[in-house]
Amino acid sequence: MLAAIEALAERWAGQREERLQRTRLDAADFAALAETGFLRLVVPEADGGFWRSLNETGPVIIDAIYRLARGDHSVALVASMHPTVVALWTAAPPAPAEITDAFDAQCSAVFQSALDGHFWGTIASEPGSGGDVMRTKTIARAVDGSTSRFTMHGAKHFGSGSEIVSYMITTAKPEDNEPPGIFFLDLRDQPWDGTAGLNITREWDGVGMKATQSHAVMLDGVEGIPFAWPGAFEHVGPPVATLGLALFCSVVLAVVDAAMAEATNRLSGKSLRPYEDVAWAEAEVGHWMITQAHRGVRNVIAGNGDEDPALAMAKAKTGMATMAESTLTLVCRAVGGSAFSASSPFASWHQDVRALGFLRPPWGLAFDQLIEARQTNG
């Protein structure tokens, strides 16, 4: 599977100039990725997939996303949402006895969807939430008093993979003032024009990660299926956050690797001015440190180390994104003013790593969590 992903990424890398100018995703890319077996990575072996545990399979998923991102990091970013989301079911601990049957049935349906070639994503962020998906204002309205059918009503944004993935999870608050819960949307035959409860209010126009279709939408009657383990976020959230942050780190490293490789080619044999030479030397140091941090990420996911994995990943993702932004700035200084041409890959890469810094969690929420963890742990 990794060899197939490597071959696919190499083909995409050969189209780099065209791909860096894209502002939309291509469904054919996701069909090709599904054919490699990628979607089976987060399906348990007992259900026909490759998943054994976070420690055993997590490093493989990290490698898969890294290789994929070397070919097209917008596709890789959207694809990384799939294992992150499906891990809500795959990595969950045993459910309480009273909901075991319902939860197992939902797990089977989710796993089968992945085996059938369907991608999962997320559209949980909301304006004004600061990135905290549990601070939702979206209302989940029961259909005719049902406990299994709800309609969603509220604004969402940063829905990476909109119009491409088949399913998306979101969060919403039931009308009866219960705590917010997790729901998922079946989008396989869903129009996005407002005629059936889902309307794109703003297409993604970011200057970074510009081909991810991270649209803003209004949910106004689209049906949402509740997660079959009510109130389980505290149980299923940590492993999901751990894996998701690790995968974002892989995308960060892949972008920096690509920039460093291209800059090395351009600067080879060139006589650098002192300013350029120092900038390049500092960029090499930054690249080295980002690479070491990613190795640490892989080790933590593999179960090596004493630190809480979720906290370690929060530090790693925040630190790597910070250093990637400064490293790409240095690369651009070494390359010169041409790096900021709209047709230059460096301009795209620089904006992409900046955008990744704001991604789940954005800077403000990331540091809130780090400070809270430090205070909690004394």
190 and 312 together in one domain: no
Longest Cα pair distance anywhere in the chain, in angstroms? 74
Q: How many CB atoms lie within 10 A of CB 319?
A: 16
Q: Report yes or no: 115 and 43 within 8 Å, Cβ to Cβ.
A: yes
10 and 90 together in one domain: yes
- Would you state the pLDDT for residue 378? 61
200 and 240 together in one domain: no
Please write the tens of the pLDDT for every residue from 50-74: 999 999 999 999 999 999 999 999 9
CATH of the domain at 281: 1.20.140.10
Count up the domains in the chain and report the number: 3
346 and 257 together in one domain: yes
362 and 247 together in one domain: yes
372 and 272 together in one domain: yes
76 and 153 together in one domain: no
56 and 143 together in one domain: no
CATH of the domain at 172: 2.40.110.10
Q: Which of 203, 226, 249 is the last residue of a domain?
A: 226
248 and 323 together in one domain: yes
Q: Report yes or no: 140 and 172 within 8 Å, Cβ to Cβ.
A: yes
- Would you state the pLDDT for residue 132? 87
Question: Range of 11's domain?
Answer: 2-119
Q: Report yes or no: 93 and 235 within 8 Å, Cβ to Cβ.
A: yes
Q: Which of 119, 151, 180 is the last residue of a domain?
A: 119
Cα torsion 64, 60, 106, 110 to 10°: value is 20
How distant is the alpha carbon of residue 300 from its chain centre? Answer: 18
141 and 257 together in one domain: no
Cα torsion 169, 174, 179, 180 to 10°: value is 20
Q: Round to whole Å and give the CA distance between 300 and 51.
A: 17
Residues, the chain: 378
166 and 221 together in one domain: yes
238 and 363 together in one domain: yes
User: Per-residue pLDDT for the chain (378 aa), expressed as one digit of tens each?
Assistant: 999 999 999 999 999 999 999 999 999 999 999 999 999 999 999 999 999 999 999 999 999 999 999 999 999 999 999 999 999 999 999 999 999 999 999 999 999 999 999 999 999 999 988 888 889 999 999 998 888 899 999 999 999 999 999 999 999 999 887 889 999 999 999 999 999 999 999 999 998 999 999 999 999 999 999 999 988 877 788 888 899 999 999 999 999 999 999 999 999 988 999 999 999 999 999 999 999 999 999 999 999 978 889 889 999 999 999 999 999 999 999 999 999 888 889 999 999 999 988 877 777 888 888 888 888 876
Give the tokens for residue 118: 């369907």
- Please state the three-class secondary structure of the chain as a single string: CHHHHHHHHHHHHCCHHHHCCCCCCCHHHHHHHHHCCHHHHHCEHHHCCCECCHHHHHHHHHHHHHHHHHHCHHHHHHHHHHHHHHHHHHCCCCCCHHHHHHHHHHHHHHHHHHHCCCCEEECCCCCCCCCCCCCCCCEEEECCCCCCCEEEEEEEEEECCCCCCCEEEEEEEECCCCCCEEEEEECCCCCCECCCCEEEEECCCCCCCCCCCCEEEEEEEEEEEECCCCCCHHHHHHHHHHHHHHHHHHHHHHHHHHHHHHHHHHHCCCCCCHHHHHHHHHHHHHHHHHHHHHHHHHHHHCCCCCCCHHHHHHHHHHHHHHHHHHHHHHHHHHHCHHHHCCCCHHHHHHHHHHHHHCCCCCHHHHHHHHHHHHHHCC
C-alpha closest to that of 355 among 242, 198, 207, 216: 207
For β-strands 139-142 and 167-174, DSSP reports them as parallel
For β-strands 120-122 and 167-174, DSSP reports them as parallel
Q: Which of 119, 138, 170 is the last residue of a domain?
A: 119
Please write the tens of the pLDDT for every residue from 186-242: 999 999 999 999 999 999 999 899 999 999 999 999 999 999 998 887 778 888 889
Give the tokens for residue 352: 């992409």
CA-CA-CA-CA torsion sign (60, 63, 68, 74): positive
- Would you state the pLDDT for residue 307? 85
CATH of the domain at 31: 1.10.540.10
